[in-house]
């Protein structure tokens, strides 16, 4: 079964994940209802990542030639509608989210008709393998195991690790020297714990059984610094659950050996022309600022 590129190493409860996601969506919709993204001044006041700090995963200095797309008459996308803000249903039953809007933007860029169907996550890669769909854009992690089944485009986002801290309680820069002797909370048996042990050996690592316990300890000031998945932390910081207690501190940390290669669009390995076309469209969307607009729409409090 494929693994979603979600904060799975930090979250052990789907109930907690959905609650955090709902809190994130409430904040996003409130910002959009006001007619704009989160004001930069507010984001800076809260200590969050600059809302204009959009990650870039493509070399825009390298000229990319448009591939031959004459054989592509229709692209059948599949996605997951149970992972907001990446994919979810609107109150009227429509399908939306970062992944969904990115797929639609790709189709517009290529001027190729597309369909986008929501499926249960565990059926998405089988749909590609069995020819029931052409491309899957569902936050699927690019892993060696997944590559045995399907091919991928270049990564269109990655989930970095981030530090979060209670306000005025930690140094602005998280370095081995500045964290020497300080207690840092982390979820046990995760890549985040392994990274801390490797690169912050003089910090006092305190482990927690799951992300709920980790964040509860941070909010209660039982621990002043935590290290976790950036998306999970952004959702929590942006929601009401945090009580405005805390803020991002330094980062992001993106070492692929610990935090993965990122999420890619999955396609059948034999469909080389589709992979070339999708990669071309992703670069063009980045060049034209469309990718940045979508990122800021769904992540006004960025996880980078």
- Confidence (pLDDT) at 239: 81
Residue 205 included in any domain:
yes
Residue 47 included in any domain:
yes
- How confident is the model over 204-209, as a mean pLDDT? 98
pTM: 0.78
Going by pLDDT thresholds of 50, 70 and 90, the confidence category of residue 144 is: very high
86 shares its domain with 121? yes
- For the chain, what percent of residues have pLDDT higher than 90? 67
41 shares its domain with 124? yes
Cα-based distances in Å from 86 to 51, 60, 153, 157, 203: 18, 25, 18, 11, 34
- Looking from the CA of 24 toward its CB, the CA atoms found within 13 Å total 27
**Which CATH number belongs to the domain containing residue 189 in this structure?**
3.40.190.10
193 shares its domain with 219? yes
What total number of domains does the chain contain? 2
Q: What is the distance between the alpha carbons of residues 185 and 163, in angstroms, rounded to a whole number? A: 10
137 shares its domain with 278? yes
56 shares its domain with 183? no
* Domain extent at residue 179: 161-259
- How confident is the model over 176-197, as a mean pLDDT? 96
pLDDT digits (tens, 9 = 90+) for 267-277: 999 999 999 99
- For the chain, what percent of residues have pLDDT higher than 70? 83
- Better pLDDT: 117 or 85: 117
101 shares its domain with 119? yes
Residue 142 included in any domain:
yes
Q: Which two tokens stand for residue 215?
A: 């964040």
189 shares its domain with 144? no
Residue 6 included in any domain:
no
Q: What is the distance between the alpha carbons of residues 111 and 190, in angstroms, rounded to a whole number? A: 42
Sheet containing strand 75-79, strands side by side? 114-118, 75-79, 135-141, 263-267, 151-152
203 shares its domain with 152? no
93 shares its domain with 197? no
Residue 23 included in any domain:
no
151 shares its domain with 292? yes
- How confident is the model over 164-171, as a mean pLDDT? 88
Residue 19 included in any domain:
no
Residue 26 included in any domain:
no
SS3 sequence of 96-125 = ECHHHHHHHHHHHHHCCCEEEEECCHHHHH
61 shares its domain with 172? no
Residue 133 included in any domain:
yes
136 shares its domain with 250? no
């Amino acid at each position: 079964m494929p693994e979603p590129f979600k904060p799975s190493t930090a979250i052990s409860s789907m109930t907690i994940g959905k609650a955090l996601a709902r809190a994130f969506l409430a904040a996003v919709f409130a910002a959009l209802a006001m007619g704009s993204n989160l004001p930069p001044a507010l984001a800076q006041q809260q200590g969050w990542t600059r809302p204009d700090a959009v990650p870039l995963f493509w070399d825009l200095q390298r000229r990319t030639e448009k591939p031959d797309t004459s054989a592509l008459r229709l692209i059948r996308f599949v996605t997951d509608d149970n992972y907001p803000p990446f994919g979810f249903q609107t109150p009227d039953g429509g399908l939306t989210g970062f992944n969904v809007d990115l797929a639609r933007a790709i189709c517009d860029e290529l001027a190729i008709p597309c369909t986008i169907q929501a499926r249960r996550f565990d059926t998405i890669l089988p749909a590609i393998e069995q020819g029931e769909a052409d491309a899957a854009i569902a936050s699927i992690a690019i892993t060696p195991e997944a590559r045995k089944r399907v091919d991928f485009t270049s990564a269109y986002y990655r989930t970095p690790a981030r530090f979060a801290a209670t306000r005025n309680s930690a140094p602005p820069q998280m370095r081995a020297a500045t964290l020497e002797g300080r207690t840092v909370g982390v979820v046990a048996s995760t890549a985040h714990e392994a990274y801390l042990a490797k690169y912050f050996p003089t910090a006092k690592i305190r482990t927690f059984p799951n992300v709920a316990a980790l964040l509860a300890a941070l909010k209660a000031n039982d621990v002043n610094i935590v290290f976790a998945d950036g998306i999970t932390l952004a959702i929590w910081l942006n929601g009401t659950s945090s009580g405005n207690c805390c803020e991002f501190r330094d980062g992001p940390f993106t070492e692929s050996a610990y935090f993965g290669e990122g999420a890619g669009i999955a396609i059948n390995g034999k469909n080389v022309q589709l992979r070339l076309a999708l990669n071309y469209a992703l670069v063009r969307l980045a060049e034209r600022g469309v990718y940045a607009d979508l990122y800021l729409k769904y992540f006004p409090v960025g996880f980078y």
